A and B are shown apart, each in its own frame.
Chain A
């Protein structure tokens, strides 16, 4: 992809260059022939101009050609300004979100940095081990504002399914009842605990009921879809009243049975890929003005924490029914689409009607009752089955949508969990090193964020933010905490001096390149679950609350870093200077512009520009051919006149000059007209703004509206191309005009 684009742009650049050269040469040759041979005096030139000017409006063909030139110019100016505005706004978004103006990474890296990922996954970057020194060296450059350390990695998370969560809560409640310390339930009195246990139990029974119904339905439709005997047995057992009356006798045993036999039957636990950027969050949040906290709050200074990308949060973590309602709502209000006529919206409605289980499973007995009552009142029916009620409720039309949409968020949403991960939850992210050791980090989700202008970008919106400490832990590098841990290991084992490399090997079981798996445990942190041996002392809660100093954050490895400049207009020069600086001081860095660093996103921008450039070339190519034809016709129509001029003593060169001058005048007048009109259109677009009609447009526009700006270079290029195209298109007709015989004058009939 990258090489293809590179070759493409080189070839294109070469072609354009050749074309420009050919153009320049013919222009020069034409001018010489024109001035030296044909037109040797200013008065002759004036006369020819007069003829050209008079011809301009006299001939209908000229008006057609002029119209074409003007039209082509308008298209060129408008498209050109659109492309450059798109580029500019994308640049602003990319630079202001993650990339900074320049990205640096280790020169030893196998791949190039790709901030938004690459086709083949994450690039393989070699870590920079002396970041504080690098940062210090770079920040001495007068144009460098700050250097923000980074690293990108990813994990697959499987947020526990409804059963898992319900069982986990139940387990926590029983443990609290039994006297264990459960932080989330610390201040809950005993009688309330008992109540909650009952409610939670009835929720689990509710879930089992739904599962039973599902199983019967499946069996009724397809014989071979019937449950395996063991599962059927297990289901029968947990559906029985005996199981529940005997529950409290050994709650943990019962829970384990449910966990092992029932939870796997609920398949809503979708695997979710979580890509995150580990960074110095303080500096990041201060340096990138495009970043906006949407839900929750920013991570407190110096602390560990996680911010989920809002796009991902909405697209992947939100309750599907709610997500679909949002989509319908946006389509209706922003894009004026109608359920009645829009197939996609009809599909959403259909899916919402059939997929009510996600909601039903979430509700315990009390909430189910509330929901049934609410829906009965809203729909004015006596139906008592929640699933049936929801199906009816989600059967929305253009007439009922707005009311039900409001109802959903006001009344139903408070009863369910809208997101699989909530702000305030703690994500447990586990890393399995190649050696098999598990590395696990707990990070608190402080909120969600988006980058202004990239809100709808699936690429930019796929990357969440994580503090650098947790990132290093997971990636498999030494951090301050790990050093402490190492000391303990040493004391405990009385081991020899552990070198840094060995330490890593001990910690991660060898190769530090880690495959990472994460799991979310909403709300409740089981402090003892993952920690073993010498690490036990370092409780996750401690880590979560610990405040790190700037030195601690910086000292340690980073994969790449964004260099934010004071004056972005000098990016190219600063880039050169930073490269020199790295060579001089032996920093071993590679420095690339944000475009390059943006990887896939950068390629999309370039690809988009190339497509537009190509279409402009095609437009002018076609226009050139049409102009050529029209000029040919115009010449044929005027052979009598040309013959007359030749008879009374005009040389061939003068005829050549006359036709070319006429074309150039045509190009000038209508080209300028087109430029004026194009500029007007662009200004108009700027004033009203072009609304993004869908998510792709939003992405390319870097926001809800695109306000294109006129650029002088654009206008200059437009003028140049118009002259060139008109001129080249006229060369052949002009040559043919010089071949008209003076005898044609004698045959004239006008």
Chain B
């Protein structure tokens, strides 16, 4: 427990749509260790995004405790949460979310400027090093709209990692990419995870992507069903599909 970088205990998250209350998470418990490459799996609507938002400090739980990097997020101010995001969390988005008017270099540099800790030269070296690692050093001066989807997501990966965060969160990072490019992005993330020991938590419903994780947290209806190995998870998903297939064959 003491080693957990993310600690979620009995978390409930409810959305309010007018009079009706939509429960998105219903008593979730989860511990994430440093250096994990964790996948959150589950069908659409199972609460993956909601869980990642709570870990990413962009939203707060209705009940229960969310601790990130040892801090209880419920006790932090808006400003402090923002600072926490800046310094300890990197984000990779499903839709890449690059700033279209800035170049690749400027997009990656942005979090460093917000931190305002490095001088111009160090900043430049850091940005170029990361662009090197994601294989886009030659594209530093390009604009996002001059790049392919895979390239854009690699820029986003570089941006997420440029501040050397403890945790990188990625909500369905491959959903907008074809499967081959998606594989390449997951490979890139995995190699960075292994090189730097950065904790990665990513959600997906694609079991080919799940396979790369060292553990899979399977969600359904806002509850954690299991924390298991990718093989078990894939088995489970496939098994359920076979069962579904048999059921449909057995029907008249």
Q: Roughly how many angstroms separate A388 CA and B94 CA in the complex, as a whole number? A: 97
Chain A residues numbered 703-748 whose CB sits less than 8 Å from any CB in chain B: 741-743, 745-746, 748
Is B102 within 8 A of A54, CB to CB?
yes
Q: Roughly how many angstroms separate A41 CA and B117 CA in the complex, as a whole number? A: 10
Q: Is A491 an interface residue (CB 8 A)?
A: no
- Given the interface pairs A651-B82, A750-B95, the reply to whether A51 lies near B102 with Cβ below 8 Å is yes
Closest CB in chain B relative to A748 CB, distance in Å: 4
Q: Is B226 an interface residue (CB 8 A)?
A: no
Tell me which residues across on chain A come within 8 A of B113, comparing CB atoms: 41, 43-44, 47
Contacting B59 at CB < 8 Å: which of A43, A58, A652, A743? A743
Contact with A along B76-94 (1 / 0, CB 8 A): 0011001101110011011
Interface of A is mostly: helix
Q: Roughly how many angstroms separate A51 CA and B107 CA in the complex, as a whole number? A: 11
Is B159 within 8 A of A648, CB to CB?
yes
Contacting A640 at CB < 8 Å: which of B56, B59, B97? B97
Contact with B along A480-510 (1 / 0, CB 8 A): 0000000000000000000000000000000
- Which residue of B has the minimal Cβ distance to A37? B79
Q: Roughly how many angstroms separate A644 CA and B85 CA in the complex, as a whole number? A: 12
Is B101 within 8 A of A44, CB to CB?
no
Tell me which residues across on chain B come within 8 A of A743, comparing CB atoms: 53, 58-59
Tell me which residues across on chain A come within 8 A of B171, comparing CB atoms: 746
- Which residue of A has the minimal Cβ distance to B123? A43
Q: Roughly how many angstroms separate A50 CA and B102 CA in the complex, as a whole number? A: 8
Tell me which residues across on chain A come within 8 A of B195, comparing CB atoms: none
Closest CB in chain B relative to A44 CB, distance in Å: 5
Chain B residues numbered 156-205 whose CB sits less than 8 Å from any CB in chain A: 159, 171
Is A47 within 8 A of B58, CB to CB?
no
Is B111 within 8 A of A648, CB to CB?
yes
Is A47 within 8 A of B56, CB to CB?
no
Is A746 within 8 A of B58, CB to CB?
yes
Q: Roughly how many angstroms separate A644 CA and B49 CA in the complex, as a whole number? A: 15
Contact with A along B111-128 (1 / 0, CB 8 A): 101111000100100000
Is A647 within 8 A of B95, CB to CB?
no
Is B106 within 8 A of A649, CB to CB?
no
Is A648 within 8 A of B91, CB to CB?
yes
- Given the interface pairs A51-B101, A55-B101, the reply to whether A741 lies near B58 with Cβ below 8 Å is yes
Contacting B58 at CB < 8 Å: which of A40, A54, A55, A742? A742
Contacting A649 at CB < 8 Å: which of B78, B97, B111? B111
Contacting B110 at CB < 8 Å: which of A47, A54, A742, A748? A47
Chain A residues numbered 54-71 whose CB sits less than 8 Å from any CB in chain B: 54-55, 58
- Given the interface pairs A649-B111, A745-B58, the reply to whether A644 lies near B99 with Cβ below 8 Å is yes
Closest CB in chain B relative to A449 CB, distance in Å: 68
Closest CB in chain B relative to A118 CB, distance in Å: 63
Q: Is A228 an interface residue (CB 8 A)?
A: no
Is B97 within 8 A of A644, CB to CB?
yes
Tell me which residues across on chain B come within 8 A of A741, comparing CB atoms: 58
Is B159 within 8 A of A47, CB to CB?
no
Q: Is B100 an interface residue (CB 8 A)?
A: yes
Q: Is A230 an interface residue (CB 8 A)?
A: no
Contact with B along A598-624 (1 / 0, CB 8 A): 000000000000000000000000000
Is B93 within 8 A of A650, CB to CB?
no
- Given the interface pairs A745-B58, A745-B93, the reply to whether A50 lies near B106 with Cβ below 8 Å is yes
Tell me which residues across on chain B come within 8 A of A304, comparing CB atoms: none
- Given the interface pairs A47-B106, A741-B58, the reply to whether A649 lies near B86 with Cβ below 8 Å is yes
Is A649 within 8 A of B82, CB to CB?
yes
Is B83 within 8 A of A649, CB to CB?
yes
Q: Is A654 an interface residue (CB 8 A)?
A: yes
Tell me which residues across on chain B come within 8 A of A40, comparing CB atoms: 116
Q: Roughly how many angstroms separate A316 CA and B117 CA in the complex, as a whole number? A: 85
- Given the interface pairs A58-B101, A749-B95, the reply to whether A647 lies near B56 with Cβ below 8 Å is yes
Contact with B along A648-675 (1 / 0, CB 8 A): 1111101000000000000000000000
Is B97 within 8 A of A745, CB to CB?
yes
Q: Roughly how many angstroms separate A54 CA and B103 CA in the complex, as a whole number? A: 10
- Given the interface pairs A641-B99, A648-B159, A649-B87, the reply to whether A746 lies near B116 with Cβ below 8 Å is no
Interface residues on A, range: 20 to 34
Q: Roughly how many angstroms separate A750 CA and B90 CA in the complex, as a whole number? A: 19
Interface-centre pick from A47, A647, A649, A654 (highest chain B CB count, 10 A):
A649
Contacting A651 at CB < 8 Å: which of B79, B95, B100, B101? B79
Chain B residues numbered 57-78 whose CB sits less than 8 Å from any CB in chain A: 58-59, 78
Contact with B along A231-258 (1 / 0, CB 8 A): 0000000000000000000000000000
Closest CB in chain B relative to A508 CB, distance in Å: 88
Q: Is A646 an interface residue (CB 8 A)?
A: yes
- Which residue of B has the minimal Cβ distance to A650? B114
Closest CB in chain A relative to B123 CB, distance in Å: 8
- Which residue of A has the minimal Cβ distance to B83? A649
Closest CB in chain B relative to A745 CB, distance in Å: 6
Closest CB in chain B relative to A216 CB, distance in Å: 92
Q: Roughly how many angstroms separate A750 CA and B99 CA in the complex, as a whole number? A: 11
Contacting B91 at CB < 8 Å: which of A44, A651, A745? A745
Q: Roughly how many angstroms separate A50 CA and B116 CA in the complex, as a whole number? A: 17
Is B58 within 8 A of A647, CB to CB?
yes
Contacting A647 at CB < 8 Å: which of B83, B91, B102? B91
Contacting A646 at CB < 8 Å: which of B82, B110, B111? B82
Is A44 within 8 A of B114, CB to CB?
yes
Tell me which residues across on chain A come within 8 A of B49, comparing CB atoms: 746
Is A650 within 8 A of B82, CB to CB?
yes
Tell me which residues across on chain A come within 8 A of B85, comparing CB atoms: 647-649, 742
Tell me which residues across on chain A come within 8 A of B101, comparing CB atoms: 51, 54-55, 58
Closest CB in chain A relative to B86 CB, distance in Å: 3
Is A44 within 8 A of B116, CB to CB?
yes
Is A648 within 8 A of B86, CB to CB?
yes
Q: Roughly how many angstroms separate A743 CA and B52 CA in the complex, as a whole number? A: 11
Interface-centre pick from B59, B97, B116 (highest chain A CB count, 10 A):
B97
- Which residue of A has the minimal Cβ distance to B57? A742
Contact with B along A622-649 (1 / 0, CB 8 A): 0000000000000000001100111111
Closest CB in chain A relative to B102 CB, distance in Å: 7
- Which residue of B has the minimal Cβ distance to A48? B113
Q: Roughly how many angstroms separate A50 CA and B109 CA in the complex, as a whole number? A: 13
Is B93 within 8 A of A644, CB to CB?
yes
Closest CB in chain B relative to A666 CB, distance in Å: 14
Q: Roughly how many angstroms separate A495 CA and B171 CA in the complex, as a whole number? A: 122
- Given the interface pairs A40-B116, A43-B116, A741-B58, the reply to whether A746 lies near B82 with Cβ below 8 Å is no
Is A41 within 8 A of B106, CB to CB?
no
Tell me which residues across on chain A come within 8 A of B114, comparing CB atoms: 44, 648-650, 654
Tell me which residues across on chain A come within 8 A of B94, comparing CB atoms: 746, 748
Contact with B along A383-421 (1 / 0, CB 8 A): 000000000000000000000000000000000000000
Q: Roughly how many angstroms separate A180 CA and B240 CA in the complex, as a whole number? A: 144
Q: Roughly how many angstroms separate A742 CA and B59 CA in the complex, as a whole number? A: 8
Q: Roughly how many angstroms separate A674 CA and B82 CA in the complex, as a whole number? A: 40
Q: Roughly how many angstroms separate A651 CA and B87 CA in the complex, as a whole number? A: 13
Tell me which residues across on chain A come within 8 A of B100, comparing CB atoms: 58, 641
Is A746 within 8 A of B79, CB to CB?
no
Contact with A along B22-60 (1 / 0, CB 8 A): 000000000000000000000000000100010010110
Q: Which residues of B contact A (CB under 8 A)?
A: 49, 53, 56, 58-59, 78-79, 82-83, 85-87, 90-91, 93-95, 97, 99-102, 106, 109-111, 113-116, 120, 123, 159, 171
A-B contact pairs, 17 of them (CB 8 A): A41-B113, A47-B109, A51-B102, A58-B100, A644-B93, A644-B99, A648-B85, A649-B82, A649-B83, A650-B82, A651-B83, A654-B114, A742-B58, A745-B97, A746-B53, A746-B93, A748-B97
Q: Which residues of A contact B (CB under 8 A)?
A: 40-41, 43-44, 47, 50-51, 54-55, 58, 640-641, 644-652, 654, 741-743, 745-746, 748-750
Closest 7 CB pairs of A and B: A649-B86, A54-B101, A742-B58, A644-B97, A748-B95, A41-B116, A649-B85
Excluding A648-B90, A746-B93, 5 further A-B contacts by CB distance (< 8 Å) are A51-B99, A54-B102, A648-B111, A745-B97, A750-B95
